[in-house]
Structure formats: structure tokens, C-alpha cells
């Protein structure tokens, strides 16, 4: 089949978008979405489905959009993914990489993510509610989910579909976890997140806010209150111990702090909001994950010169290709193959720069490895440093739960593809289970842990003492 | 009485207010030294206040705070009867001793409020308890009567002589150390005074604990803003604090992070 040109969803022009915080991708119109769908070869053994950790029936929903039936397409996606609107915007889209149209000389993969977004944008939510109201298979089992981030919401929705009663405990006053405070408005507008939260609530999943489980209420107390299983999905926290020398300087922030200040506390709207941001004209961002790219693009929108420092190659940047491309387009300077060595401070203890060394591949005992290049040390001038990682499981709950032990590499689950922790009846998903994973993998974990909990509940005795 | 309703509000010193809030679950479970997170409104910062008093039968807690930052001023200006949206807690894991001996509780101005529950706890254990209250001037002295009730004897020291004796906390502590065999000292004072106290007890085998003012940005432990350096390693003030061995705390880092949390 001829590889016709991919129809790109529209995006805000670069000059305009670097001056605002509104969504960069503007999505498809209905007509353009239907046109893009006509390019789909409808493979009999679709590679895109195999590559999607959630196994969404991609050709299926594309067929429905082609027919102009966006509500059915949304329904088809919801069968595998309860957070379709979020994935349509913030997913790293491994399906597009696997698409067979990406393999030819002139790769033009299907714009699957844009189409998923179109299904959410134009699909009828009311139709969903009617469908969900028909579910009546209650098991009488109760599950407590700690954390209302992507993993918690996905697990909650799936467990509810299995017939269990679900209560999510959230320590913040808004639901969404990292989706709320971590992903900037220009990638995931709050109104989309709110719509998804409304959908999850319409299923019957309840969320209790401002409860710090572990401290205000222990895991043991939750079991005593009648919960049959507990899922820990409180995400990651900034892990101390591997920090750069000099990182106690004022002006050094963790990515989580920077993102929280802007996305949750609206520090960029100071003085209307009380939170502030550290002053500085040049921000050095250390890391290359999606959080690093988000920090860089946010710093740019705050009028700062932004330099991203990453010790490996550009291909090893773990953020989605489109985000990386857009960041560079907007003016984020990428110093790849550059290892930060030390944060340099001035006499007042404030950040002055980052001492770095260039990296290159060299033969180390018969293996090509990235090694520092001798004599290549240099200083990146910066008056603000944002450190993106390393991360460990959020210890806020673990510290107060005797019997819950950290397994290898500071995370809670030791066995591959299993989510049970050392505490009977307690499971973990998302970053807490085995470390940082992409959004789509987090959702896949949410789905898998829901199956594991469902199985656990089916095997556990019906009447508790 | 609705949930998180402000039941009373009192000016107890210059720019310092006491607020009683309906929070039955927190009142039931808060231990001495623990604190709560409060947001005055959606535009404010997430503020942390030690739980100064609890009344489990009535279901109320009391906080004492200085109106310095815009968020604190907003909270202080809320009327009696207002329902707060965000009151989270109790937070913190205060390491309090269970041994009985002679203890000294030292508080400086607002820090005295942090010492009240600790002092009461030590008294309940059967400790011989002394209180040293420091202030620059009479207008900044808080909760003297509460400390008086929980201590065998208190020493009020003011820098301008407007209340108690003219002098410094260290003057009173020197006196106490001469006359009594002190086993442990708890203090909620600025780091400058901590250093002076540590110098004073250097030669003696006395445990010195600092009751730190809690701070964080999110309050849920993911952003690293509540991490302070204790014994050369970073620990979370939220999950392991707010009481630490004073000798082991890096006060430069603590002060820098505390200042950053105000904006």
C-alpha cells in the first residue's frame, strides 16, 4: 500500500506557544481525523496493538472514527483504557513507533495518539454513563487505594468493573497525583484531567481527600475498617544519596518541587497565588526523562534560558520524541553526552554554574562504553539548577507501616510482573512497585495489579472476622 | 460544629494568634510534637503548624502561628465560623523519650508554643521538668501560663527586661545546670541559640533535642523540600521529625530550606 503522507494534528506556532501555558497540541478536527483514519491499513496482526502496553484495539477504534462514530471509538478505547483523554495527550505512543507505516523509506506512522485524543474530544461522555450504569455485579469486597495518580485511578476503574467497592485516599486536596502536579498545562490541560476524574467518579469510585495514610490512618487500621486489600500507588519521591556535590546550594530544586510550584501552586501567577519561584535567568536541567523536558519547557515559558544536561546520547532521552522535538523547536538547548560533576556556588552559597565533562564512546575492556573525555571539563553558567532524579519509592507510607519492606533498588515489588508486597493484602503499582516508568506503562501496571488484586480477593475467604 | 470549622481565634502576642479548629479525628490521634497542614484558601501555600493542644472529647485542636507571610496573614484574617477546606494530619513522627529524669524545656517566642505539648508529655511521664522561656520583649512572649502548669519551675528571660529577668536563655540554663542534674534538654529556639546551648553543655553528658518548626512544600513527601541534613545524611522532617538530636542537625541547610518554604 502506498505510504501516503501523515496528517499531523495542529499545534500552536512556536513564537506564540513559548509565551503562554496553554496546550501546545490542538488536535484534529473531525474531518481531518476521519481523513487520517483512511490511511490505516487495518493489519490482520496489528503491530501497534502488540506495542501498546494496554493492548488497545487500535485498528478497531480507527475504523469507528473513519465511520464518523467518535462515541463508539471512545467506548472501544475505554474497554482497555479508562483514561483515554489523558493517553491521547500525554502518552509516549509506542504504538506509533511500531506502526508498519513507520518502517518504510519515508516513515509516516499513523497519528494514533492524535486519533485517541479525537475520540475523547468528540466522543459523547453521556453515552458512557448510560453504559456504566448497567454494571451491577457487586462482590461485596472493598479495596483501599492510596494515591489518586494514574496507577491508582486505572486500578480503581478496573477493580470497580470487576465488581469491587473502591475507595481512593488522596493526601492532596485535588486528585490526579503526578497528572495533576507533574504534567504541565501545555501538555495536559486541567479540564481534560477533570473530565477524566468525573468519568472515574461516574463509575462509582470514591475519592477521599486530605488523608495522609500511614500517618493519619495506618494500613492496619484500613484493614480493621473492613478493607480487604490495599494498593499503594503514591508514586516516587526525590531520592537522596546520589546528589551532585554542591547541590545544597540555594537555587537548586528538585524537578518535583519545580513542577509542583507551577502546576499545583501556580507560582507563575504570583502574587495572585502565594507560591514563588527562585529568581534566575538561566536554568540548567539535569536529566532527560519526561519530567526534565517538562521542566525545561516550563522554565523557557518563564523567560529563562534553558540548558538540558544529559550524560548519554539524544536517542537515550526517555521523553516522547514529539515532546523532545517540540522542546528543541522552542529553544531548549540540549547538552547531550555531557556529565554534570558539581554544582558551583558563589560566596553567598547561591548557584553559579554546573561543572561538566564531555562524554564519548570508548573501548573499555572490549566493550563500547560512555567514558569521560580527558581535559574536556567546562562550566555551564546557570543561576538555577533543576535536578531530575534519582527517584525512590515514596517513603511517606512505608515509614509508618511495620511489615512493609523495601525490596531491591529501593522499590516495593521484587518479582517480575507481580505486584504483591511483603505485607499480606498490600499491593503496589506505578513508580512504587519497580521504579520510574512511562505513563502508558503505569496504566498497564494499574490494569495488571487490578487483575492480581481481583484474583487475591476471589481466593480470600468471604467473611472476615 | 462542622468539620474544620474555626471555633475561636485569639491574639496572644504581637502578630501571633491562637486558633481553635474542629478536627475530631486529628484531636483523637495527635501525639505531642505532631503537626498539621492547613491551607487558608486555594491561593495560599500549604502551611504546617504544630498541634499545641488537643481536646479529644470536644474534637478540637489548637494551633499558634505568627502572621508573617501572606498565606499566614490570610489564615489569621479568616473569621470565626469559617470552614477550612484543607486540614491534614496529624503528621510527623516525633521521637520522644520514655525515660524519667530531669528535663529542661526551652522555648523562644513562638517556639514556646511548640514546647507546650512536649513539656506536658514530659510532666505526665513523671519528669522533673524546668521551663526556660526566652523573648526579645514582653510583647512576643506566648503561652507562659501553660508552660508554668507543666513545669516545676519556669524562668522567663527577656532581652530588654520587660518581662521576667533581663538576660538570655543561656544565662538561665547555666543557673539550672549548676543546681540540678539535668538529663535531657528539649528546645524550640532559633539555630543561633541552639549553638550557644550546645556550647554550654559540651562537657556534660546531656541529651539535647531540637523540636524543629515543620516545613515542606507539598507535605506528602515526594518533592524533597522537607529533607534536612541530620548526622551527615538527609532525612525527611515529615516522616522522621520534627524532633532530632540537636548536635546532629546541619542548621545551615535547615535554615535555608525553612526560608525557601515561606514562598
The minimum CA-CA distance between A24 and chain B, rounded to whole Å, is 26
What is the overall mean pLDDT for chain B? 90
Residue at which a domain ends, from B29, B63, B91? B91
User: How many independent structural domains does chain B possess?
Assistant: 2
- Polymer length of chain B: 263
| Closest listed residue to residue B40, CA positions, set B83, B2, B81 | B83
User: Looking up cell 526556660, which residue turns up?
Assistant: B132
Residues 196-225 of A with CB under 8 A from B: 210-212, 215-216
**Domain residues for B54?**
6-91
Q: So what's the pLDDT on residue A155?
A: 95
Q: So where are chain A's domains?
A: 10-130, 137-237+392-459, 252-389
Residues B84 and B109 in one domain: no
Residues B107 and B79 in one domain: no
Residues B122 and B232 in one domain: yes
Q: A10-130: what fold?
A: Fumarate Reductase Iron-sulfur Protein; Chain B, domain 2 (1.10.1060)
Judge: A271–B70 Cβ closer than 8 Å, yes or no: yes
A137-237+392-459: in CATH 3.40.640.10: no
Considering only CB atoms, which residues of chain B are within 8 Å of chain A? 25-26, 29, 39, 43-46, 69-71, 74, 85-93, 217-225, 227, 229, 233-234, 236, 238-240, 253, 256, 260, 263
Average pLDDT over residues B131-140: 95
Whether this model's ipTM surpasses 0.90 comes out as no
Residues B16 and B110 in one domain: no
Judge: A395–B91 Cβ closer than 8 Å, yes or no: no
Q: Which residue of chain B is at minimal alpha-carbon distance from A243?
A: B234
Q: With respect to residue B177, please indicate whether it lies within any of the assigned structural domains.
A: yes
**Domain spanning A252-389 has what CATH number?**
3.50.50.60
Can you give the CATH number for the domain in which B186 is found? 3.40.50.80
B23 — pLDDT class (breaks 50, 70, 90): very high
Q: With respect to residue B96, please indicate whether it lies within any of the assigned structural domains.
A: no
User: Looking up cell 516525633, which residue turns up?
Assistant: B94
Q: Which residue of chain B is at minimal alpha-carbon distance from A266?
A: B43
Within 8 A of B91 by CB-CB distance, chain A residues are 212, 215-216
Which helix H or strand E contains B38, and what residues bound it? strand B35-39
Q: Rounded distance, CA B179 to CA B200, Å?
A: 15
**DSSP label at A220?**
H
Q: Which residues, including other chains, have CB under 8 Å from residue A287's CB and lie 6 or more apart?
A: A255, A308, A309, A310, A387, A388, A389
Residues B123 and B235 in one domain: yes
Judge: A248–B239 Cβ closer than 8 Å, yes or no: no
Q: So what's the pLDDT on residue B235?
A: 85
Q: With respect to residue B119, please indicate whether it lies within any of the assigned structural domains.
A: yes
Judge: B26–A216 Cβ closer than 8 Å, yes or no: yes
Within 8 A of A400 by CB-CB distance, chain B residues are 93, 239
Can you give the CATH number for the domain in which B50 is found? 2.40.30.10
Within 8 A of A396 by CB-CB distance, chain B residues are 220-222, 236, 238-239
Cell triple for residue A341? 560533576
pLDDT tens digits, one per residue of B197-231: 999 988 888 889 999 998 888 888 777 788 888 88
pLDDT tens digits, one per residue of B97-127: 777 789 999 999 999 999 999 999 999 988 8
* B242 upstream amide cis, omega within 30 of 0: yes
Burial class (CB in 10 A: 0-12, 13-18, 19+), A190: middle
Residues B114 and B172 in one domain: yes
Q: Rounded distance, CA A257 to CA B228, Å?
A: 15
Higher-scoring residue by pLDDT: A240, B133: B133
Do A10-130 and A252-389 come out as alike in CATH topology? no
Residues B162 and B221 in one domain: yes
Dihedral, A431, A433, A435, A436 alpha carbons, nearest 10: -30
Residues B85 and B111 in one domain: no
Residues B60 and B122 in one domain: no
Q: With respect to residue B173, please indicate whether it lies within any of the assigned structural domains.
A: yes
Residue at which a domain ends, from B70, B91, B112? B91
Residues B158 and B59 in one domain: no
The number of angstroms, rounded, from the C-alpha of B42 to the middle of its chain's C-alpha atoms is 26
For chain A, 465 residues long, give each residue's pLDDT as a single digit of tens.
445 888 988 999 999 999 999 999 999 999 999 999 999 999 999 999 999 999 999 999 999 999 999 999 999 999 899 999 999 999 989 999 999 998 867 889 999 999 999 999 999 766 555 555 555 578 889 999 999 999 999 999 999 988 999 999 999 999 999 999 999 999 999 999 999 999 898 888 999 998 888 888 889 999 999 999 999 998 887 766 557 888 888 888 889 889 999 999 999 998 899 888 888 899 999 988 889 999 999 999 999 999 999 988 877 777 888 888 999 999 999 999 999 999 999 998 899 999 999 999 887 777 788 889 999 999 999 999 999 877 777 777 887 888 888 776 677 777 777 888 888 999 999 888 888 888 999 999 999 999 999 999 998 775 544
Which helix H or strand E contains A130, and what residues bound it? helix A125-133
Amino acid at each position: 500500500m502506498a505510504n501516503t503522507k501523515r496528517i499531523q494534528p495542529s499545534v500552536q506556532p512556536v513564537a506564540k506557544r513559548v509565551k503562554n501555558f496553554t496546550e501546545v497540541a490542538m488536535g484534529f478536527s473531525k474531518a481531518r481525523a476521519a481523513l487520517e483514519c483512511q490511511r490505516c491499513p487495518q493489519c490482520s496482526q496489528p503491530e501497534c496493538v502488540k506495542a501498546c502496553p494496554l493492548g488497545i484495539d487500535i485498528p478497531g477504534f480507527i475504523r469507528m472514527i473513519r465511520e464518523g462514530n467518535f462515541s463508539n471509538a471512545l467506548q472501544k478505547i475505554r474497554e482497555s483504557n479508562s483514561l483515554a483523554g489523558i493517553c491521547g495527550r500525554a502518552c509516549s505512543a509506542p504504538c506509533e513507533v511500531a506502526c508498519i507505516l513507520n518502517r518504510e523509506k519515508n516513515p509516516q506512522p499513523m497519528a494514533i495518539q492524535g486519533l485517541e485524543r479525537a475520540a475523547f474530544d468528540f466522543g459523547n461522555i453521556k453515552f458512557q454513563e448510560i453504559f456504566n450504569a448497567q454494571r451491577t455485579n457487586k462482590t461485596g469486597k472493598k479495596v483501599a487505594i492510596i494515591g489518586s495518580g494514574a496507577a491508582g485511578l486505572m486500578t480503581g476503574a478496573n477493580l470497580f468493573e470487576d465488581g469491587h467497592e473502591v475507595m481512593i485516599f488522596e493526601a492532596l486536596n485535588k486528585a490526579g497525583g503526578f497528572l495533576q502536579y507533574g504534567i504541565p498545562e501545555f501538555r495536559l490541560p486541567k479540564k481534560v484531567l477533570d473530565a477524566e476524574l468525573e468519568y472515574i467518579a461516574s463509575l462509582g469510585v470514591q475519592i477521599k481527600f486530605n488523608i495522609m495514610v500511614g500517618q493519619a490512618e495506618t494500613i492496619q487500621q484500613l484493614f480493621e475498617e473492613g478493607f480487604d486489600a490495599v494498593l499503594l500507588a503514591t508514586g516516587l519521591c526525590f531520592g537522596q544519596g546520589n546528589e551532585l556535590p554542591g547541590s545544597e546550594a540555594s537555587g537548586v530544586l528538585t524537578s518535583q518541587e519545580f513542577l509542583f510550584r507551577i502546576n499545583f501552586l501556580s507560582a507563575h501567577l504570583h502574587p495572585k497565588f502565594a507560591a514563588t519561584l527562585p529568581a534566575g535567568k538561566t536554568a540548567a536541567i539535569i536529566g532527560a526523562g519526561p519530567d526534565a523536558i517538562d521542566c525545561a519547557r516550563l522554565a523557557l515559558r518563564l523567560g529563562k534560558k534553558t540548558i538540558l544536561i544529559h550524560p548519554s546520547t539524544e536517542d537515550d532521552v526517555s521523553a516522547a520524541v514529539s515532546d523532545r522535538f517540540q522542546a528543541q523547536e522552542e529553544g531548549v538547548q540540549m547538552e547531550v553526552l555531557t556529565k554534570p560533576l558539581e554544582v558551583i556556588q558563589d560566596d553567598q552559597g547561591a548557584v553559579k554554574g554546573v561543572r561538566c565533562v564531555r562524554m564519548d564512546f570508548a573501548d573499555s575492556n572490549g566493550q563500547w562504553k560512555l567514558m569521560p573525555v580527558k581535559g574536556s571539563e567546562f562550566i555551564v553558567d546557570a543561576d538555577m539548577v533543576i535536578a531530575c532524579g534519582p527517584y525512590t519509592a515514596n517513603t511517606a507510607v512505608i515509614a509508618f507501616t511495620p511489615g512493609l519492606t523495601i525490596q531491591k533498588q529501593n522499590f516495593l515489588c521484587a518479582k517480575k510482573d507481580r505486584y504483591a508486597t511483603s505485607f499480606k493484602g498490600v499491593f503496589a503499582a506505578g513508580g512504587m512497585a519497580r521504579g520510574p516508568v512511562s505513563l502508558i506503562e503505569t496504566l498497564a501496571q494499574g490494569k495488571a495489579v487490578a487483575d492480581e488484586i481481583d484474583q487475591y480477593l476471589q481466593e480470600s475467604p468471604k467473611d472476615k472476622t | 460544629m462542622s468539620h474544620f470549622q474555626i471555633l475561636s481565634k485569639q491574639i496572644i502576642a504581637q502578630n501571633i494568634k491562637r486558633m481553635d479548629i474542629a478536627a475530631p479525628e486529628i484531636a483523637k490521634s495527635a501525639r505531642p510534637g505532631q503537626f498539621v497542614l492547613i491551607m487558608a484558601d486555594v491561593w495560599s501555600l500549604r502551611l504546617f503548624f504544630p498541634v499545641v493542644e488537643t481536646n479529644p472529647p470536644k474534637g478540637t485542636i489548637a494551633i499558634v502561628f505568627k502572621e508573617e507571610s501572606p498565606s499566614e496573614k490570610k489564615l489569621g484574617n479568616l473569621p470565626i465560623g469559617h470552614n477550612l477546606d484543607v486540614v491534614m494530619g496529624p503528621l510527623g513522627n516525633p521521637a520522644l523519650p520514655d525515660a524519667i529524669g530531669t528535663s529542661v524545656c526551652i522555648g523562644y517566642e513562638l517556639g514556646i508554643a511548640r514546647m507546650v505539648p512536649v513539656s506536658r508529655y514530659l510532666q505526665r511521664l513523671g519528669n522533673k521538668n524546668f521551663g526556660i522561656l526566652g523573648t526579645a520583649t514582653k510583647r512576643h512572649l506566648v503561652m507562659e501560663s501553660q508552660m508554668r502548669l507543666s513545669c516545676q519551675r519556669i524562668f522567663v528571660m527577656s532581652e530588654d527586661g520587660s518581662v521576667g529577668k533581663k538576660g538570655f536563655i543561656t544565662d538561665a540554663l547555666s543557673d539550672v545546670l549548676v543546681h540540678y542534674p539535668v538529663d535531657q534538654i528539649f528546645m524550640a529556639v532559633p539555630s543561633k541559640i541552639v549553638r550557644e546551648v550546645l556550647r554550654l553543655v559540651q562537657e556534660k553528658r546531656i541529651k539535647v533535642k531540637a523540636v524543629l518548626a515543620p516545613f515542606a512544600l507539598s507535605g506528602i513527601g515526594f518533592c524533597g523540600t522537607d529533607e534536612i541534613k541530620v548526622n551527615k545524611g538527609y532525612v525527611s522532617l515529615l516522616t522522621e521529625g520534627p524532633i532530632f538530636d540537636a548536635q546532629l542537625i546541619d542548621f545551615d541547610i535547615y535554615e535555608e530550606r525553612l526560608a525557601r518554604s515561606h514562598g
